[in-house]
């Protein structure tokens, strides 16, 4: 292509202005200390109210949709079906396969359709969180596929993905030891933000002065067995802060528990009204 | 009847002193927990403890298990074995296709060394078989038809008509009256009902 | 991951041993195996280190390259991690077999270093918004005998300690054009402060107790382990549960406590060792790969 020397050409790469939005938001929110942007309070187990529903995708064996604030996820479960990749361990118990993806329009910046390494990492975390909850030895020689699609990312994606996937598994009639619920917090100094939004998660409205104990924590919890099936943190935290954070997350999971139970019961009732014996 | 109780996985249903575990439940520390989202069903059977199960609207996802009677369709044959697709376990249709193998030795119980697979099955036949093994890494489900009640139940002749069994090893085409060899099943009346 | 088959009898033996604080190789539950560290192994890197922990062998090379800072943080450089699970370590890694593990390891490393204390990223900035140093940390697994995370983190810390980034000078001419000059003197270089680089401690839950630095046999007996990365001061920069099992909250709290204690105790001797080796300078006897 002949270059037009008279024209001033723009830079070769461009960045979305929304990337820089973060900093302006930070300035605004320093006014009040305890209130969060969406009206919740810091330091309180105040998870976003969730909307959950099972069985919205008819082709799948089981499916679930979860909406917490602006975080929206959809999950489908297929199987158990014959394993494609065979190895010795599959013969005794089934294989769980997880795949978590972000829709290209789910984040502020457009993503690509190709699964990135962070999506693969989230898939792995999802797998490790769900596996203790599923009775895999009841499904020898077969695989169960869990696909999670993030439609809108507004923070705490992994936590909600875990909850959503366990609902979809239950909806699919896969035998499970327990439901798996997820909860995450953002620790900022002495205070924490439970179920953070995207802006909060990325440390955008940082309270001034809190330079220590800054990090995120996600817990996957089996409420009836009282077991933690997934744990992940980053940032920097003291040991006691971390312990406190895990406790807070468990508390958050218990807040979620009745909602999920109710939604599942509703799904069962819708599929088969209780009239028949 | 009282409104049926709903439960979700992980719900504690009762102690093992009160009930026996049925399907859709698991045992832990002397208590019975639900492993499915569904209705709690208590069944009293005689003087024994009632059996507690969790049921869903659809039959719980069945997988072919050792000893199960399966209905399958023959996809290909060769001198050593016939390959099949398992369609039903008992009377429950499978959602996904599982592959199985009927080896030459497992076609019938007697004169195993004289078996010829192409005289027993043809691709497209519907066969009743029993699962003898889940197979290992290389192989699929291993099936057998070495019982009188097992073998071909539906077969089509070369002319395309559905054949009628005339003996345990032959079937006849109603249109051309040509006889073809099959390992024919003596279908039990209760299966005919279904 | 490279795994071994363990029979039921062996499992019981290991489980009972761990219960009595006696492990197969004579260690206590919180003891590491013998560890050997050597820095400056590969001359083509800016910093390198090899760590041998039992039969686990890890080689880390750090290469500094000039790049453009990320738009979100114009005043900082950044680190890139890549873990290569070569087929040398175990035939299972041949082809794409090691990719999954490599991905898991490198993603964990990103999390471990995702805080403002581990490495002073500001010191990697050359001119804000335009140029910065990008440190490519490449990890090569030479042998696998369990506890990869810990060995890798120690090797990274040693390699970063050993890293020498050439000093650059920015001169500006009248028209505002910037020019980057590399120092002529090869000894005129910048060193990184690695005091706060965390070390990973992996705790394997075996029976009702947990063990540090599990061998492959012990790992086969455990359903879940906890990875904890601990800094010199005892703060935790990353926690992660790995493995298919679940853990009850109390044991997680116990494990973090142990992890913190063990991790904290690991830093001082490691730093001392690195400084000693450094002070020997050219007199140091090189061991190399045959050691």
| Residue spans of alpha helices (H) in chain C | 8-19, 99-112, 148-162, 216-220, 249-280
Closest Cα in chain A, distance from residue B5 (Å): 9
Cβ distance of B96 and A274 shorter than 8 Å: no
The fold of the B6-55 domain, in CATH, is OB fold (Dihydrolipoamide Acetyltransferase, E2P) (2.40.50)
Do chains B and C touch by CB distance (3+ pairs < 8 Å)? no
Kindly report the CATH number assigned to the domain that includes residue A71.
3.30.230.70
Q: Are B64 and B93 in contact (CB under 8 A)?
A: no
Test A235 with C226 for CB contact under 8 angstroms.
Answer: no
CB contact under 8 A, A233 and C247: no
Backbone CA torsion sign across A200, A205, A206, A207: negative
- The complex scores an ipTM of 0.87
Average pLDDT, chain C: 88
> A224 and B11: CB-CB below 8 Å?
yes
Spell out the residues 6+ positions from residue A263 whose beta carbon is closer than 8 angstroms to its own: A52, A53, A54, A167
- Give the integer Cα–Cα distance in Å for A183 and B57: 31
Distance CA C225, CA A251 (A): 23
Asked if residue A183 is part of any domain, the answer here is yes
Residue C221 has pLDDT above 60, yes or no: yes
Determine, for residues A246 and C260 on separate chains, whether the beta-carbon distance falls below 8 Å: no
- Whether chain C has a CB inside 8 Å of the CB on A108: the answer is no
SS3 B30: coil
Question: Are the Cβ atoms of C252 and A246 closer than 8 angstroms?
Answer: yes
List, for residues C108-149, the tens digit of each pLDDT value.
999 898 887 788 888 888 888 888 999 999 999 988 888 899
B69-192: CATH topology is OB fold (Dihydrolipoamide Acetyltransferase, E2P) (2.40.50)
What pLDDT band is residue B96 in, cutting at 50, 70 and 90?
confident
**Alpha-carbon A145 to chain mean position:** 17
Contact between chains at B98 and A260 (C-beta distance less than 8 A):
no
Cα of C241 to nearest chain A Cα, Å? 5
pLDDT digits 0-9 by tens, B134-175: 877 777 889 999 988 899 999 998 888 899 888 888 999 999
CA distance C124 to C70: 12
pLDDT tens for C193-208 read: 888 899 999 999 998 8
Please give the pLDDT value at position C173: 78
SS3 B190: helix
Question: Which structural domains are found in chain C, ordered by start?
Answer: 8-282 (3.30.230.70)
**Confidence class of residue C82 from pLDDT cuts 50, 70 and 90?**
very high
Cα distance between residue A243 and residue A239, in whole Å = 6
Does C226 have pLDDT greater than 90?
yes
Contact call for A and B: 3+ CB–CB distances under 8 Å:
yes
Token pair belonging to B172: 């006849």
Instruction: Report the percentage of chain C scoring pLDDT > 90.
Output: 43
B22 interfacial to chain A (CB closer than 8 Å): no
Residues in chain A where the model's pLDDT stays below 70: 1-3, 18-33, 85-91, 203-211, 274-277
Query: Cβ neighbours of residue A63 under 8 Å, at least 6 residues apart?
Result: A54, A55, A56, A57, A74, A75, A76, A77, A168, A171, A172
**pLDDT tens for residues C47-65?**
999 999 988 999 999 999 9
> Can you name the residues that pair with A73 across neighbouring β-strands?
A66, A150
Instruction: Indicate the pairing of strand B51-55 with strand B20-21.
Output: parallel
Residues of chain C whose beta carbon is less than 8 angstroms from a beta carbon of chain A are 71-72, 103-104, 106-107, 111-112, 114-117, 224, 226, 231, 234-249, 252-253, 256-257, 260
Q: Is residue A23 part of a domain?
A: no
The pLDDT of residue A81 is 83
* Residue A86 Cα, gap to closest chain B Cα (Å): 6
CB–CB contact C71 A237 (8 Å): no
Q: What is the pLDDT of residue A208?
A: 45
pLDDT in the model for residue B194: 47
What is the pTM assigned to this prediction?
Answer: 0.86
Helix or strand or coil: residue C280?
Answer: helix
User: B78 to chain A nearest CA, in Å?
Assistant: 23
Q: A144 contacts in B (CB within 8 Å)?
A: none
CB contact under 8 A, C116 and A236: yes
The per-residue pLDDT for A185 is 92
Q: Tokens 């035939």 correspond to what residue?
A: C91
Q: Which of B37, B64, B70, B97 to mutate to test the interface with A (most CBs of A within 10 A)?
A: B37
Instruction: Tell whether A272 lies on the interface with B, counting CB pairs under 8 A.
Output: yes
Closest CA to A244 of A162, A157, A185, A159: A185
The parent domain of residue A101 ranges over: 40-267
User: What's the confidence (pLDDT) of residue C138?
Assistant: 94
Domain count, chain A: 1
Residue keyed to tokens 């697709």: B85
Please tell me which of the candidates A229, A232, A250 has its beta carbon nearest to residue C240: A232
Q: What value does the mean pLDDT take over residues B94-102?
A: 85
Q: List every span in chain B annotated with CATH 2.40.50.140.
A: 69-192
CATH 2.40.50.100 domain locations along chain B: 6-55
- The residues with which A182 forms a beta bridge, in sequence order, are A220
CA distance C276 to chain A (A): 29
Residue A34 inside a domain? The answer is no
């Amino acid at each position: 292509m002949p270059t037009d020397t008279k024209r001033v050409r723009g830079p070769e790469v461009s960045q979305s202005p929304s990337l820089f939005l973060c900093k302006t938001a930070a300035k605004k929110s320093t006014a009040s200390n305890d209130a969060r942007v969406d009206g919740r309070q810091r330091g309180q187990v105040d998870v976003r109210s969730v909307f959950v529903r099972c069985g919205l995708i008819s082709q799948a064996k089981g499916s679930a949709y979860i909406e917490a604030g602006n975080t929206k996820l959809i999950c489908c479960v297929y199987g158990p079906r014959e394993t494609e990749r065979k190895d010795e361990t599959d013969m005794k118990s089934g294989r769980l396969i997880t795949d978590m993806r972000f829709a290209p329009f789910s984040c502020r910046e457009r993503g690509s359709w190709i699964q990135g390494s962070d999506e693969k990492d989230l898939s792995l975390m999802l797998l490790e969180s769900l596996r203790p909850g599923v009775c895999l030895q009841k499904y020898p020689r077969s695989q169960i596929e869990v696909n999670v699609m993030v439609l809108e990312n507004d923070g705490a994606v992994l936590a909600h993905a875990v909850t959503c996937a366990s609902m979809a598994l239950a909806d699919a009639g896969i035998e499970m030891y327990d439901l798996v619920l997820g909860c995450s917090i953002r620790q900022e100094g002495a205070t924490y933000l439970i179920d953070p939004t995207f802006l909060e998660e990325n440390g955008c409205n940082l309270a001034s002065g809190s330079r220590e104990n800054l990090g995120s924590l996600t817990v996957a919890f089996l409420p009836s067995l009282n077991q933690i099936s997934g744990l992940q943190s980053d940032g920097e935290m003291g040991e006691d802060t971390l312990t406190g954070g895990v406790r807070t997350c468990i508390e958050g999971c218990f807040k979620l528990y009745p909602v999920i139970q109710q939604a599942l019961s509703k799904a069962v009732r819708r599929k088969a009204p209780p009239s028949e014996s | 009847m009282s409104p049926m109780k709903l439960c979700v996985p992980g719900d504690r249903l009762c102690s093992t002193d009160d009930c026996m575990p049925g399907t859709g439940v698991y045992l832990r520390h002397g208590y019975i927990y639900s492993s499915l989202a569904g209705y709690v069903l208590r069944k009293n059977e005689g003087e024994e403890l009632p059996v507690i199960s969790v049921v869903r609207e659809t039959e719980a996802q069945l997988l072919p298990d050792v000893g199960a009677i399966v209905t399958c369709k023959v996809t290909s044959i060769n001198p050593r074995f016939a390959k099949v697709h398992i369609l039903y376990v008992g009377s429950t249709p499978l959602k996904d296709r599982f592959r199985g193998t009927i080896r030459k030795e497992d076609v019938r119980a007697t004169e195993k060394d004289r078996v010829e697979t192409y005289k027993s099955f043809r691709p497209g036949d519907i066969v009743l078989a029993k699962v003898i093994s889940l197979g290992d890494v290389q192989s699929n489900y291993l099936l057998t038809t070495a019982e009188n009640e097992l073998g071909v139940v539906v077969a089509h002749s070369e002319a395309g008509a559905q054949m009628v069994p005339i003996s345990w090893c032959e079937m006849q085409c109603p249109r051309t009256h040509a006889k073809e060899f099959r390992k024919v099943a003596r279908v039990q009346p209760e299966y005919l009902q279904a | 991951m490279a795994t071994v088959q363990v029979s039921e009898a062996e499992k019981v033996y290991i489980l009972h041993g761990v219960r009595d604080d006696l492990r197969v190789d004579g260690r206590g539950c919180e003891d590491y195996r013998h560890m050997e560290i050597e820095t400056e192994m590969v001359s083509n890197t800016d910093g390198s280190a090899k760590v041998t922990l039992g039969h686990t062998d890890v080689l880390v090379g750090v290469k500094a390259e000039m790049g453009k800072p990320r738009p979100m943080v114009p005043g900082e450089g950044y680190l890139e991690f890549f873990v290569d699970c070569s087929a040398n370590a175990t035939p299972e890694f041949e082809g794409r077999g090691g990719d999954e593990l490599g991905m898991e390891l490198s993603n964990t490393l990103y999390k471990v270093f995702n805080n403002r204390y581990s490495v002073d990223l500001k010191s990697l900035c050359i001119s804000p918004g335009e140029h910065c140093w990008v440190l490519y940390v490449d990890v090569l697994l030479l042998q696998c005998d369990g506890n990869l995370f810990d060995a890798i983190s120690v090797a990274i810390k040693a390699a970063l300690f050993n890293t020498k980034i050439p000093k650059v000078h920015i001169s500006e001419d009248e028209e505002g054009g910037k020019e980057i000059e590399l120092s002529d003197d090869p000894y005129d270089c910048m060193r990184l402060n690695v005091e706060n680089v965390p070390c990973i401690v992996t705790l394997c839950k075996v029976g009702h107790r947990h063990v540090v630095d599990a061998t492959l046999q012990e790992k086969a007996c455990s359903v879940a382990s906890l990875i904890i990365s601990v800094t010199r001061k005892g703060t935790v920069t990353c926690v992660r549960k790995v493995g298919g099992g679940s853990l009850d909250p109390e044991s997680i709290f116990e494990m973090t406590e142990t992890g913190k204690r063990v991790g904290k105790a690991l830093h001082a001797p490691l730093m001392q060792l690195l400084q000693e080796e450094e002070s020997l300078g050219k007199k140091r006897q090189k061991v190399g790969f045959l050691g």
